[in-house]
Amino acid sequence: MDPVDKAVLASLYANTLDPTISAYDRLKARLPLSKAFYNSRLEQLAKIGLVEKSNPNKLSFIGRDALKVVLVGGVFDLIHPGHIHTLKAAKSEGDVLVVIVAKQSTAQKIKKERKIYHDEILRKELVASLNFVDLVLIGREGTLYDTVEYVKPNVIALGYDQAHSEKEIAENCTKRNLNVHVIRLSTPVPGSKSSKMKEELGDSIYGI
């Protein structure tokens, strides 16, 4: 498929999950396409059944199946090289990278002694500033699987040091009729961890 057409489909998919930004505006932030050219691509995609003819701003089932969506979750309180490598590796596994930023309450439920310096809105903005990330969402209340059901990814990519079990996640997704492939990513910089940086740098860096 033409990379531009795939980018159009990805923007439509992202818009279904976060309609606060139009699909065209989302795409234009990445590719300098005119609205006329964008509309012409939508017409072509509708003709081959990848978007709905009655609503060209909506993916058809075939259009959704043409995209491989990768889901990554984390706190992302301090973006560092480990995050960059992990997220780039996740993006290489598919066409669309969706990053879930954990809510404050969820992050502290997992690790009670964790100190979080930025609220979820700021952490979402930090991750969204990475141009290879297609969509950033704040995690839903409840379990991980409530968020997975909403996104319906093809792949869930776990960081090398995340505590989740691939097998457990795969089994729970299957119970919810979610066909998801779970993978564990490696990192070329295993010593790059937020907790270690916070321990060494202390609070002073946040006063800059």
Listed in sequence order, the residues at least 6 apart from 34 whose beta carbon sits closer than 8 Å to its beta carbon are none
Residue 111, pLDDT > 90, answer no
Domain 68-207 adopts which CATH fold? Rossmann fold (3.40.50)
**Across residues 58-79, what is the average pLDDT?**
93
- 15 phi, psi to nearest 5 deg: -65, -30
pLDDT of residue 150: 94
Residue 144, pLDDT > 90, answer no
pTM, full prediction: 0.85
pLDDT tens by residue, 12-32? 999 999 999 999 999 999 899
String of DSSP letters for 85-153:
HHHHHHHTTSSEEEEEEPPHHHHHHHSTT----S-HHHHHHHHHTSTT--EEEEPPSS-HHHHHHHH--
pLDDT of residue 191: 55
Residue 133, pLDDT > 80, answer yes
Token representation of residue 150? 């909403």
- H or E element at residue 156: strand 155-158
